[in-house]
Amino acid sequence: MPNLPSRALRVLAIPAFENNYLWLVHDGVHAAVVDPGAAAPVQAALAQHHLTLTAILLTHHHPDHIGGVPALLAAHHVPVFGPRHDGIAAVTLALGDAERITVPGLGLALRVLDVPGHTLGHIAYVSETAGAPWLFCGDTLFGGGCGRLFEGTPAQLRDSLARLGALPGDTEVYCAHEYTLANLRFAQAVEPGNPAIGRRIALEAAKRERGQPTIPSTIDLENSTNPFLRYREAEIAEQLVKAGRLAPDAEPLQAFAALRTWKNSF
């Protein structure tokens, strides 16, 4: 198969469960699916768009990201790319930081980033193909927020998010959940003086009213509105101190950790 894309690549959102997005990358003929937590909606999308599955890409081991893999493999003989260190038995091509792959059938070049925190082995995929500035980041960076700390430390998650925040600003962020509006309500509470958050809430709410996903966002948009990339801002620290969640002389990492803890109960 050629390594350069011969047809235009697109990303299709497949909604699943309450608020998951399974991402189908395709060129009109072949398709790869990212984090297929369920097989049936993937099969339906493949049939509807007359696509042949050529690869499965996984970011981490949680069931809502891998649950559909056995049924998809029963129907399609395709490689399963996934993290080397997240304990997923179905992975046939294990990946770690800085490794590069070309998605079979699509010619899509991806670079892997280790982004521990939500899980210890979590990886993200960054496209290196021209015209496809995409990041598939699972449950690490969300629209306006980030994934919960299930396995890693606050420092690990902070560093993982900082790596994603340092990607080119026009990188499109394909995360795995539609949590954006709830995340932005929290963002506004912890940084009420940031007008970009209110503007974004209006835009994202209008998308939801039209039945559209808020995802993808962009790295620029996340850097201007996402408190987990902005935890060094003085106003965020002030709000944390005012809420009794941070000591006045605390380090930025403590502010990040306090934000993540507060969001759990917000």
Interface contacts to Zn ion, rule CB under 5 A: 62, 139
* CB 150 to Zn ion: min, Å: 7
91 or 109: CB nearest Zn ion: 91
Q: Has 122 been annotated as catalytic? A: no
Residue in the structure block whose two tokens are 């399609």: 76
* In the chain, beta strands by DSSP E: 10-16, 20-26, 30-34, 52-57, 80-83, 93-95, 100-103, 108-114, 123-127, 134-138, 141-142, 145-146, 172-175, 217-218
Calculate Rg over the CA atoms of the chain: 18
* CB 95 to Zn ion: min, Å: 17
Q: Has 49 been annotated as catalytic? A: no
76 or 260: CB nearest Zn ion: 260
* CB 118 to Zn ion: min, Å: 6
Give the three-class secondary structure for 80: strand
CB-based burial label for 114 (10 Å; 0-12, 13-18, 19+) = buried
Give the active site residue among 30, 61, 76, 118. Answer: 118
Give the active site residue among 26, 30, 62, 76. Answer: 62
Residue in the structure block whose two tokens are 């941070």: 246
How many Cβ atoms sit within 10 Å of the Cβ of residue 34? 25
How many Cβ atoms sit within 10 Å of the Cβ of residue 251? 10
Q: Has 177 been annotated as catalytic? A: yes
Give the active site residue among 27, 35, 64, 114. Answer: 64
Euclidean distance between CA atoms 35 and 176, whole angstroms: 8
Q: Has 97 been annotated as catalytic? A: no
Euclidean distance between CA atoms 46 and 163, whole angstroms: 33
* CB 88 to Zn ion: min, Å: 12
62 or 158: CB nearest Zn ion: 62
Give the active site residue among 26, 30, 60, 76. Answer: 60
Q: Has 139 been annotated as catalytic? A: yes
Give the active site residue among 26, 30, 61, 65. Answer: 65
Residue 256, token pair as written in the block: 């990040």
* CB 7 to Zn ion: min, Å: 32
Q: Has 64 been annotated as catalytic? A: yes
139 or 191: CB nearest Zn ion: 139
Residue in the structure block whose two tokens are 């948009």: 221
1 or 150: CB nearest Zn ion: 150
Q: Catalytic residues, which ones? A: 60, 62, 64-65, 118, 139, 177
